Amino acid sequence: MAKMILPARPFSIRRATTADAGGILRCLQTAFEPYRYDYTQEAFHDTTLSPETIHLRLAAMAVFVAVTPPGDIVGTIGCGAVDAEEGHIRGMAVLTEWQGRGLAARLLQAAESELRAQGCRRVTLDTTTPLTRAVRFYEKNGYQRSGKVGDFHGMPLFEYVKNLGELRALLDHLILGASDLARGIEFVEERTGVRAALGGVHPGRGTRNALLSLGRRRYLEILAPDPEQATLAWFRSLAQSTEPRLVGWMVRPGDLAALADRLRYSGIACDPPRESSRQRPDGRTLRWKLLRLAEQSEGLLPFLIEWSADSPHPADDAPPGVSLIQFEILSPNPDEIRRTFEILGLDVPVSRSDRPELCARLAGPCGALELIS
């Protein structure tokens, strides 16, 4: 029998806020209602939460929600670090009419990415006997029974575990291109409430930038032509940009020379690592090495950066207050992109699309900012 393909329905995944508490409660209660009489009363209430316990979860864990364009919450998941290396997932629910549409996989991916970012190498979750569909889903996504069985208010609770591995490459920064630096700074400030600080110029490259932090050792670079330099040597499309857009992203994989050898061994052509630098307004010089893949897959693949050991990281003193909620790659050839990411050690979602695109969602004190390439 052929597998039924359900029609696509739009949704997005984002981190939950306290304002989402009511919607999360409704999602949990609706999704688990068919199992009410398969659970003990205490287990059911513990699973579906209450107005008091939902706020405790939002305070203690990173909670993600799947949201439709009208703003309805149709799926949710929570996760948090147990210790330095282990994370735990709980509270996953997807409304029945949204099952089979890829929503659960996106929620799980968001939780695993969050735990990896916190340094977790292993993740656990617990499930119960009535949730047979959920068990099949977890096993399909690499979870295995650990053999540990606990008591959940009179019900057996089975632990599942997955090895997340150790990321070898971490997202360093996103590059937002603009034809004019002042316009790019205003564009971000108007939508997030945070004003980027001037970074400096790139001698010989024809650009200058402004920065704002996206968290520890991660930032947004607003890149524009430098009017004091005659030639634009890279990102030549900046001068023709009508609106700020994502023009690239960079990851730091560690030793670039070793990575270049591994890439060539894997059949991925790349340029040799190149020394670069720029001077900050305070007079300090930032130094780094940059490696570029020969095939950029229409701008979807990252640049690779290795900061000098004696160089400060730009995120350390860039203006804070903005966080990266989501970053995703859209491609007509997702399997090809995923193969390269596997070699690079990257954990970035890749989805199939008719056109190649970088997509990011940022959140600041004044609202969210959607960026595309």
* Global pTM exceeds 0.85: no
Q: What's the whole-number mean pLDDT along residues 140-168?
A: 85
Res. 3: pLDDT tops 60: no
Q: Is the pLDDT of residue 130 over 70?
A: yes
Q: What residues are paired with 368 via a beta bridge?
A: 363
pLDDT tens string 23-67: 999 999 999 999 999 999 999 999 999 999 999 999 999 999 999
Q: Supply the pLDDT for residue 169.
A: 55
Can you give the pLDDT at residue 112?
84
329 touches 347 (CB < 8 A): no
The per-residue pLDDT for 366 is 87
**Domain-by-domain residue ranges, the chain?**
12-163, 173-372
- Three-state secondary structure along 242-309? CCCEEEEEEEECCCHHHHHHHHHHCCCCECCCEEEEEECCCCCEEEEEEECECCCCCCCCCEEEEECC
CATH tag, 12-163: 3.40.630.30
Average pLDDT rounded to a whole number, residues 226-252: 84
**Integer CA distances (angstroms), 26 to 13, 50, 69, 95, 161, in order:** 17, 10, 17, 10, 28
Residue type at 18 in one-letter notation: T
User: For position 4, what pLDDT does the model report?
Assistant: 42
> At residue 7, does pLDDT exceed 80?
no
* Tokens encoding 116: 């990896």
Pairwise CA distance, residues 77 & 209, whole Å: 37
236 has pLDDT over 70:
yes
Task: For domain 173-372, say whether CATH 3.30.365.10 is its number.
Answer: no
pLDDT digits (tens, 9 = 90+) for 329-345: 898 888 888 878 877 77
Residue 365 or 297, more confident = 365
Distance CA 373, CA 359 (A): 7
Residue 121 DSSP label: S
- Mean pLDDT value across residues 239-260: 84
Alpha helices by DSSP H, listed for the chain, are 21-32, 41-48, 51-60, 103-117, 132-140, 181-192, 256-265, 334-344
| pLDDT on residue 166 | 47
Nearest to 305 by CA among 345, 247, 251: 251
Q: What residues contact residue 12 under an 8 Å CB cut-off, 6+ apart? A: 66, 67, 326, 361
Lowest mean pLDDT, pick from 24-33, 164-173, 181-190? 164-173
The answer to whether 48 touches 29, Cβ cutoff 8 Å, is yes
Is residue 187's pLDDT more than 60? yes
The CA distance from 130 to 33, in Å, is 12
* Mean pLDDT value of segment 95-105: 88
Q: What is the pLDDT of residue 193?
A: 92
Q: Is 159 left (phi over 0), alpha (psi -120 to 50) or beta?
A: beta
Residues pairing with 157 in the sheet: 150
What number is the average pLDDT over the span 98-104?
Answer: 87
**Which segment, 39-43, 198-202, 280-284, 311-315, is predicted with the most confidence on average?**
39-43
The one-letter amino acid at 341: F
Q: Quickly count: other Cβ atoms within 10 Å of residue 5's Cβ.
A: 8
pLDDT band at 167 (very low <50, low <70, confident <90, very high): very low
Residue 153 burial (CB < 10 Å; 0-12/13-18/19+)?
middle
Q: Chain-wide mean pLDDT for the chain?
A: 87
